[in-house]
Amino acid sequence: MTIWGNIWPLSILAVAFIVAYFLPVRYFRVLNGLTILVLMGSLFLPLWHLFNPVDALAYWYDITATVFGCFALWFSGPYIEKESSWHPWEPRHIKHYYLGLYLFVGSLMAMALVANYVLLWVALEAATLSSVYLVRSAKTRTSLEAAWRYLMVTETGGLAGLLGTVLIVLGVGGNLGAWSLTPLDSHIPVNVSMVFAGIFLAAIGYGAKAGLAPFHTWLPDAHSEAPAPVSALLSGVKLAGSVLILDRLFTLSSVAIPGFWPHDLLLVLGILSLIIAASFVAFQKDLKRLWAYSSIEHIGLIALGLGFGGIGVLGALLHVWTHGINKTLLFYNAGTVRAYHRGLSSLPATSGLMESTPYTGGLLALGATGIVGLPPFAPFWSEWLILMGGIASGQIILSIIVILLLLAIFGGITLKMPRWLWTPGERGKPPMKESWGLILPSMTLGILVVVGGLALPALVPHMFHQAAALLRYKTSS
């Protein structure tokens, strides 16, 4: 297997970037459509051995990054057309947005395709810097402040993450230039002190990139100011990818530090994230900030699943997918609300959606029902597996605390939704004309939330279980 055989799908985004640089803006929708077709086609090439992902976990994340990257390109066409009209944006500004988006999607795919720990850090840095650029797309004071805070917090963490990565790889006797992510032979001499230090630094660095509490301070502002397709990619793909890289490093460190304790750090970060989400979600009056705090909750759940081990790891990997579907729907829905209200998604200006924009209001109701974990929607099943992983691992008290925090978040979101959907004081608004260009991507995601969330692991169960096995899952757990 050659290195090129692992990473060549990145060339699709590289070619699209070069073409976009010289292409007039009026042709970008055609370019996006062609790019989507080729990217989606690349996911089937491993069946014919024309593309060889690093391992099953990398392929799982590559599917996630590619699918939601394609959704971002699809939704960006009609959404940026609306957003550029209320700011307004010049054609050059629109082109720069798409160039940044291609870089962002490409760097997220690189987080799946490269098989070197230092290059994984580089790919995550590229995702961070390109998304910082996209967060400040509106060029308002608030968007610039949000981008600056995002940059400062995550880049400070990034330095800690790089040092932690180097210390762990060298501490277990690895080679920084090796093209491999698998744990090394346990007979190789190790430096336990280096690995210990690396674990804590990596937890800080990658925790900041993932928006895990207490390193989450950048996340609500960045999500609320970024264009909707960017918010969706941040929440559904980048945050989860950061946690998966951290977990790979923790698994690698087990060569030097036998036992489970490094993953206890994920339990601490996960429960802190749920506490933060439960404390703030009920007080949000802006849709995008509401879903930003929900993202802190769900990245915390993924961290908890990985920390619990056993069947919790299966739940965490499934939650990467189901949360990505549901949260992408909700951020697109919030972007649609802003498109109809000239940049606003806050109360009371955008209440009464079921009457003024029934399709948008209905999709909001669907997405909100799914994201709080109600059956039979896709996120319910992954959350259930995570909780069962906690109980099976003996973490009964912690699992009960998680359930209580989830109930508090459920109550907070349930308290807010009627104000957006059915506020009595806002009835009588004339219905708005809804754009099918904005509605169709969200409707597709809505269908996936209802019936398609479990389709992928059902179609490729062996790959799904192999991916979990790389993160310590055992069928006997």
3-state DSSP assignment of residue 474: coil
pLDDT band (50, 70, 90) for residue 104: very high
- Asked if the model's pLDDT at residue 299 lies above 80, the reply is yes
DSSP output for 302-320: HHHHHHH-THHHHHHHHHH
**Angstrom distance (rounded) from CA 7 to CA 419:** 47
**pLDDT tens, residue by residue, 439-477:** 999 999 999 998 876 776 777 777 777 888 887 654 333
Mean pLDDT value across residues 376-397:
91
Per-state percent for the chain, helix, strand, coil, to nearest 5? 75, 0, 25
Is 345:288 a contact under the CB 8 Å cutoff? Answer: yes
pLDDT for the residue numbered 476 = 37
**pLDDT tens, residue by residue, 307-339:** 998 899 999 999 999 999 999 999 999 999 988
| Weakest-pLDDT range from 209-223, 297-311, 393-407, 456-470 | 456-470
Task: Indicate the Cα dihedral angle 467, 471, 476, 477, nearest 10°.
Answer: -130
Cis amide leading into 88 (omega within 30) = yes
Both tokens of residue 56? 């099953």
pLDDT for the residue numbered 263 = 84
pLDDT for the residue numbered 46 = 79
**pLDDT tens, residue by residue, 119-178:** 999 999 999 999 999 999 888 899 999 999 999 999 999 999 999 999 999 998 888 888
